[in-house]
Structure 1
Amino acid sequence: MDFLTSYNLIIEASVIIILSFFFGEVSRKTNIPSVLMLILLGIGLKFVLDAVGGGDLNFDPILEVLGIIGLIMIVLEAALELKLRKDKYLPIAKALGIALIGLIGSTWIAALILQEFIPGMDTKTAWLYATPLSILSSAIIIPSVSGLTEVKKEFHIYESTFSDILGIMLFYFLTGQIDAAEHSSGLAGFAGNLVLTLVISFIASYLIILVFQNIRSHVKLFLLIAVLLLLYSVGKQMHLSSLIIILIFGLLIANMQLFFRGPLSKWLNLEKAKGIYEGLHVITMETAFVVRTFFFVIFGLTISLASLASLNVALVSGLIILSIYLIRFIILRIFVGADIVPQLYIAPRGLITILLFNAIPTEVRVEGFEAGILLFIIIATSLIMTFAMIYDKRRTSRAVKKAQDNPVGYVRWKAPSISVGPEEKETH
C-alpha cells in the first residue's frame, strides 16, 4: 500500500498535527471541542482508507498504547497546575466530593439501565460496563474551559482529574472482584493496595526530584518521562493504582515548598528543581497535545457509524445521558448553588471511557452490548457541552455589551461655596 510508505506516513502525521493545531484555534473561538473535530477527521480518513483498500488495518494496539500514554500525560499536566494553598483546600475538597458522588451515582443508575436493557448483564458486569460511561473526560474538559472564569475553570480541572483517577480505581477494583482469586480480599485488599500505592508514590516522587535536580545533562526531561512511564507500567503489572503515582509526583513537584519542609528543605535545590518543573510543564503539554491528537483520530478510524442506527442503542444511550445530567443537576445544586451553568452541561466522556472499555476482560464481555452506545454517549455529551459553552459565551458577551452601552452615570462635582455673614466680615 503506497500510503504506508515511510515518507507518506511522515506527511500524513504532519498534516494531522497541523490540522489539530488549527482545530484548537477554531475551538477557542467557537467552543466546539477540538476532540469532536479530530474524531470526524478520523471518520473521514476511514472512508479514504476503505476507498484505497486499507480498511482492514487493525489500529487497536496503537489506540491502546496512545490511550495509556495520553492518560498519563493528561493527569500529569493537570497535577502540575494544582497549587495546594490554604485558600484552595475548600475548592479541592468540594471538587473531590462532587466527582466521587457523581461517579458512584452515575455508575449505579447506568448499571441498572444496562442490566434492564442488555441481555446477559448481571449486576457485577453491569457495574463494570457502567463505570467507563460515568467518568468525566479531562482530555476534553481541560482544553475546553480556558474561556471560563478562574473559579469555574479551576473547578472543572479539579473535578475532571479526580473523576479520572477515582473512575480508574473503581474500574480495576470491580475487575478484581470478578476474579475469584481476588474476590476474597474485598475492600480490605483494595484499601491495602491504595495505601501501598500512596507510600510508593511519595517515596518515588521524593527520590526522582532529589536525583534529577543533580543531573547536569540537557536531555534529562525525556529521561524523567521515561521513568514515570516505567513506574506506571510496573505498577500496573503489580496491580497498583498507578495513576496515583503520576498524580502524587505532579502535585509534589508543583508544590515543592510545601512538601520539602524542615530537614527535607536542605536537600532541595529550589532553583534547579524549578527548572525541571518548568521544562516538564512544557514537554507535558506538548506531548499531551500530540498523543491526544492521534488517539482521537485513530478512534475515529476504528468506529462504525452503522452501530448508531440501532433503536436499542438510541434508547439505552438516551436513558444513560438523561441520568448523567439529572444526577449532576442534583449534586451541583447541593454543593454549588444556583449558578450551575455551564457547569451542569460540562460532563463529556472521552479518552478514559474508550481506554477502559478496551480493558474489559474478554471472559466477561457481553455480546449484547453494542459499541454504538459508547460512541453515542461520547458524541452526545460532547455536543451538549459545546452548545452550553456557546450559550455561556454569548450570555457573557451580552452582559458585557449591556454594561458598556449603559455606563454608570456621573455628575460633575463642584465644591460648595461658603457665604460669609456680616459679623464675620467685620472681624476681617
Structure 2
Amino acid sequence: MDVFSSYNIIIEASVILILSFIFNGISKRTNIPSVLLLIFLGVILQFVLSYFTSDKVDFFPALEVLGIIGLIMIVLEAALELELKKEKLVPILKSMAVALIGLLGSAYLAALILHQFVPDMSMQSAWLYATPLSILSSAIIIPSVSGLVPSKKEFHIYESTFSDIMGIMMFYFLVGEMNPASQGGAGGFALNILLTIVISIIASYAIILVFQTIKSQAKLFLLIAVLLLLYAIGKQLHLSSLLIILIFGLVIANMKLFFRGKFATFLDHEKAHRIYHELHIVTLETAFVVRTFFFVIFGLTIAIASLFSFTVALISLLIILSIYVVRFVILRTFYGSDILPQLFIAPRGLITVLLFYAIPAEAQIATFEPGILLFVIIGTSLIMTWAMIKDKKKTKTLVDLADEEKDILDKEKATVVLEGSDTAPEVDRIDPIEEDPET
C-alpha cells in the first residue's frame, strides 16, 4: 500500500484537521491541551506507519518549516490581541519581568542539572541546551487560557509572548557566543536589537500605508507573504526577526496610538481596521492548521523508547521541579498569594522543539538524550492540564454557591413581599375612609 500517494495524503491531511478540530472541542470541555492530543495522535500514527511501510521517512524538513511558520503565526496572533493603554502599562511590564526572570532562572537551574548529569556537557553547552527547555509555549498557553478571568488570561498572553521572543533572542545570542567568528558580544547583541526595532517600526508603517491602498480582495495572504519574507531576510542578516512580527502586530492592533498628529492624515481608518479584522481571522485559521501538522509530525518523529530510560526520567523530573520552584518564587514576589492556576501554567512546546533542532552541528552533544525534550513537554503539559481542571472545578463550585445564595435571597425577598401583600389591602381600604373629612 502506497501510504504517500497523492490521494492518500489528501485523505490523511483532511482526517488530521478534522480530528484537530474535535480535539479543540475536547480541550474546551476538559482543559486537556489539544497540543497534547495532537502529539499522541502523531505517536499512534508512527505505529500505523511502521505497520504499512518499512521505509524511513525524514519528516525533519517539514517539521522545521512548519515550526517557523507556526511560530510567526502564533506571535502575530498574540500581538493582535495586545492593547497598549496607559492602564495596561503596569501589567505589561510585570509580565515582561516575570517572563525574563523566569527564563533566566529556569535556564540557569536546567543548565546546572544538564552539566551535572549529562556526560561531556560543558556549562556553556548546558546553557544552550537549557534555553529551549526554559521557554514557555504560547502555542499551548494562548488557546488554553480562554476560560480564565480576563486579568489572568491577559497575563498569560503577555508572559508567554515575551518568553517566546526573549527566549529565541537568548538562544541565538548563545549560539553566536559559541561561534568563534562572532565578535559582537553583548554590545553587538544590543545593537542588533536596536536595529531590528527601527527596521520593524519603519516596515510596519510602510506595510499598513501600502496595503490600505490595494483594492484587490486577495491581499491578506500577500501581507502574510511579506511578513514571512521579512522574517526570513532578517534571519539571514542575523537580526531578531521575531521582533519584526511582534511590532507589526502591535502597530496594526493599536493604530490610534501609532498614527497620531500628522501621521493620522495618512491613515484610512476604515480600510486599516478592515485589514486588521480580516488579518486576525486569517492568522487564527493559519495558526490552527500549522500548529496541527507541526505537533502531529513531532509525534511521528519522537523516539518512544527514550522515555523509559531512568537517566532521562531523572534529569527531566529535576528540570520540571526547577521550573516550578523558580516560577513559585517569582509569582509570589510579583503577585502575592493569588498565583493559582498561574503557577502551574508553564508548558513547553513548539519553540522548545524548534530551537532544539536549530542547535548547530558543531555545538551538539552526542550524549544528550532527546527523550528529555519530550518528557519535559509532556510533563509540563500534564501538570497544566491538572491545574486547569482543578481551577475549573473550583470556579464552578464558587459559581454554584453564588447561585444558591442568590436563590435563598430571592426566596427571602419573595416571602417578605407576600407577607406585605396580606396587610396592604386593609390599609388601602381603611385609612382613606378614616381620614376623609367628608365621611
TM-score (norm 2): 0.93
Corresponding letter in the other structure for 1:290: V
1:161 match: 161
1:194 match: 193
Tell me, in whole angstroms, the C-alpha distance in 1 between the residues paired with 2:436 and 2:393: 65
Map 1:198-277 → 2, pairs under 5 A: 198-277=197-276
Deviations 1:329-380 (A, max 9, x none): 0100111111111100000000000000000000110011001100000000
Tell me how large the CA RMSD over aligned residues is.
1.7
Tell me, in whole angstroms, the C-alpha distance in 2 between the residues paired with 1:374 and 1:252: 35
Tell me, in whole angstroms, the C-alpha distance in 2 between the residues paired with 1:200 and 1:123: 35
Tell me, in whole angstroms, the C-alpha distance in 1 between the residues paired with 2:168 and 2:391: 31
**What's the offset of the Cα at 1:54?**
4.6
> Cα–Cα, structure 1 residues 22 and 425, in superposed 2: closer, same or farther, change >3 Å?
closer
Tell me, in whole angstroms, the C-alpha distance in 2 between the residues paired with 1:362 and 1:322: 29
Tell me, in whole angstroms, the C-alpha distance in 1 between the residues paired with 2:36 and 2:66: 17
Corresponding letter in the other structure for 1:36: L
Contact persistence 1:314–1:373 (CA under 8 A): yes
2:28 match: 28
Tell me, in whole angstroms, the C-alpha distance in 2 between the residues paired with 1:371 and 1:185: 31
Corresponding letter in the other structure for 1:204: A
Tell me, in whole angstroms, the C-alpha distance in 2 between the residues paired with 1:90 and 1:131: 27
Tell me, in whole angstroms, the C-alpha distance in 1 between the residues paired with 2:5 and 2:321: 46
Tell me, in whole angstroms, the C-alpha distance in 2 between the residues paired with 1:138 and 1:374: 17
Contact persistence 1:111–1:123 (CA under 8 A): yes
1:100 match: 100
**What's the offset of the Cα at 1:316?**
0.5
Tell me, in whole angstroms, the C-alpha distance in 2 between the residues paired with 1:241 and 1:234: 11
Contact persistence 1:77–1:281 (CA under 8 A): yes
Tell me, in whole angstroms, the C-alpha distance in 1 between the residues paired with 2:169 and 2:45: 34
Deviations 1:281-302 (A, max 9, x none): 0000000000000000000000
Tell me, in whole angstroms, the C-alpha distance in 1 between the residues paired with 2:397 and 2:177: 53
Contact persistence 1:49–1:55 (CA under 8 A): no
Structure 1 stretches of 5 or more lacking a match? Answer: none
Number of aligned residue pairs = 420
**What's the offset of the Cα at 1:425?**
12
1:145 match: 145
Corresponding letter in the other structure for 2:85: R
Structure 2 stretches of 5 or more lacking a match? Answer: none
2:402 match: 403
1:360 match: 359
Tell me, in whole angstroms, the C-alpha distance in 2 between the residues paired with 1:425 and 1:141: 75
1:119 match: 119
> Cα–Cα, structure 1 residues 55 and 154, in superposed 2: closer, same or farther, change >3 Å?
farther
Contact persistence 1:345–1:385 (CA under 8 A): yes
1:8 match: 8
Tell me, in whole angstroms, the C-alpha distance in 2 between the residues paired with 1:334 and 1:278: 38
1:173 match: 173
**What's the offset of the Cα at 1:175?**
0.4
Tell me, in whole angstroms, the C-alpha distance in 1 between the residues paired with 2:74 and 2:219: 20
2:384 match: 385
SS of alignment partner, residue 180 of structure 1? coil
2:318 match: 319
Tell me, in whole angstroms, the C-alpha distance in 1 between the residues paired with 2:41 and 2:63: 16
**What's the offset of the Cα at 1:180?**
1.1
Corresponding letter in the other structure for 1:126: A
Tell me, in whole angstroms, the C-alpha distance in 1 between the residues paired with 2:324 and 2:2: 47
Tell me, in whole angstroms, the C-alpha distance in 2 between the residues paired with 1:223 and 1:54: 40
1:290 match: 289
